[in-house]
Amino acid sequence: MTFRTPAAGLSILSLALLPMVGSAQARGPLEGQRHYPEHVAADLELWRSTLHEAHADPYRHVTKAALDRAIDEAIAAARVPLTAAEVTDLLTPVLQLIGDAHTRVDLPATVERSLREQVPLLPLAVRAVGPGLYVEEELKGFRSIPSGSRILSINGRSAAGILDTLAAIALSDANDSLFRVRQVERDLPYLLYRHLDRSPTFTIAFEPPSGRARTEQVMGLTGEEVRRSVRPENGPLLPWSAAHHADHHTTWLSLRSFHTDTLLNAGIKPERFVEDLRRDLKRDRSRVLVIDVRGAAGSELALAELVHSIYALKPYRVVQDMTVRLTAPPKHYGLCEPLPEFFATLAANYLPGDHGRYHLRPDDPRLEFLEPQPNAFDGKVYVVCDAFTREAAAALVMMARRAGRASIVGEEVGTNSLSSCGGRILRLRTPNTGLVFHIPLIRYVYEGTPRGPLDRGELPDHVFGVDARALATGRDLLRDALMEMIIELQ
């Protein structure tokens, strides 16, 4: 399978230089210590060695030789002393060749913290609708730019150009372009400063929902200032919650996290929650169950199995295989955050296979088919997802559709539909630049047949994307449309 980079026609070198725009502007946390080429090369060689040794699936979209050539080009491009940020920019095309969203490099923690907390960033939350950017909220009290306004330009750069440029350097699983766009949408203030514009003020040309286009100048806000200026909501949203709508004979189940710790910290015991939900579905005589996993992620596949058990009518499992490429700590383990429990059990749980892979033992409980519960919900099921539905939440989408138990509504999920890397992450902290390289150690091969291309996320049965009208009204139009359809079908 050939992996295509999102910026078709750009060479590796030009793509690496693309994020450098604006680097000559005012000094800030990105303009810190510079590292000599030989020190950069030493760090990248450490990464290369650990990547080849430990990454669960590094050659799915690129050959080993081509990957080495790309790393060689990045090392060769470091001809003068570079900041940590400039080194990460050189690595963007290498990471895109790998085509795995969990394989990334982070700036040193002090630099990252300063960017997130202390520098003035664009004070807007935005949503991407088609090729345009729309204001979801202005992150200060004045509200000079109405929600739902279409942004025409920021400091003279067209909104479409900003979106295209930043999406081209984002990372995703293979060719999931929508996930790249959603990353820009979610983190535009940070990405704009990081790659394009470090101005403390922003001239915004925009077109409000009603009225003529106009221009406003807004001051940047630091992360600390944003927290002080945004009004608190009524209270934190529970990571799992369910609401019954009697007039629709429908229960709407919202799942925002697939991390057990997050649930337990919120006072939610997953098994007890599911048992109570089964009882409530029967008591309320629900005919329809909607499972909303928009924005949900988390690596714990057992939670996906648990949720699927609510409505499963035939045997099921999440994965048909799990593989690793090493059964002992890598050579440079001393520079990594330790994973003692993971490495202690590898040799016992995995057996050698082809192409240097070790496969999970066939008698491992994680590969067993689970029998449906006798009190499983047998009504209509919808699963609502978006591009930020990832990892275990995306696996739930795959299970529901491939079992024929649900109609999928929304967007392509952000995790690859055939297999993906994740689970345990090896974090290599390099001694010279201080960069932190993330290397996933487990490859998951999902049960069933993907819907759509093998280099994309699972595709929905019914596409429903972001609507600019919803930003002006604050309404969840997907929810409204789905509930209306449920009434009509009944």
Give residue-wise pLDDT tens across range 62-96: 999 999 999 999 999 999 999 999 999 999 999 99
On whether both 283 and 411 belong to a single domain, the answer is: yes
Between residues 147 and 439, which one has the greater pLDDT? 439
Quick one: DSSP state of residue 335?
A: G
Whether 153 and 250 map to the same domain: the answer is no
Q: What pTM did the predictor assign? A: 0.91
Same domain, 180 and 287: no
Which residue in this structure is represented by tokens 């699963």? 383
pLDDT for residue 231 is more than 70 = no
pLDDT band at 27 (very low <50, low <70, confident <90, very high): low
Which domain does 182 fall in, by range? 117-229
Same domain, 223 and 244: no
- Residues paired with residue 442 on neighbouring β-strands, in sequence order: 422
Q: Pick from 229, 258, 275: which residue ends a domain? A: 229
- Judge if 214 and 251 occupy the same domain: no
Nearest to 443 by CA among 188, 103, 130: 103
Average pLDDT of the chain is: 90
Residue 18, pLDDT above cutoff 60: no
Question: Cβ-count burial of 136 within 10 angstroms (0-12 exposed, 13-18 middle, 19+ buried)?
Answer: buried
- Confidence tier at 233 by pLDDT (50, 70, 90): low
State the alpha helices, DSSP H only, in 321-362.
340-349
Would you say residue 20 lies in a domain? Answer: no
CA dist 450 and 110 (Å) reads 41
In a domain, 72, yes or no: no
350-366 pLDDT, tens digit each: 999 988 899 999 999 99
Q: Of the ranges 52-61, 335-344, 383-392, 473-482, which one carries the lowest mean pLDDT score? A: 473-482
Helices then strands, each counted (H, E), the chain = 16, 18
Among candidates 423, 474, 410, 15, which has minimal Cα distance to 182? 410
pLDDT band for 30, please (50, 70, 90 cuts).
confident
CATH of the domain at 480: 3.90.226.10
**Distance between CA atoms of residues 63 and 430, nearest Å:** 25
Which of 229, 261, 295 represents a domain boundary (last residue)?
229
Quote the number of domains for the chain. 2
Element (H, E) at 181: helix 177-186
- Mention every residue, 6+ apart, whose C-beta is less than 8 A from residue 183: 167, 170, 171, 172, 191
Is residue 174 domain-shared with residue 222, that is, in the same domain?
A: yes
DSSP code at position 221: B
Same structural domain, 263 and 143? no
- Evaluate if residue 24 carries a pLDDT over 90: no
Tell me: pLDDT of 235 over 60.
no
The answer on 299 and 214 residing in a single domain is no
Residues 6 or more apart from 330 whose CB is under 8 A from it?
Answer: 49, 50, 53, 54, 336, 426
- Residues 419, 290 within the same domain: yes
| pLDDT, position 230 | 62
The per-residue pLDDT for range 145-193, each reduced to its tens digit, is 998 999 999 999 999 999 999 999 999 999 999 999 999 999 999 999 9
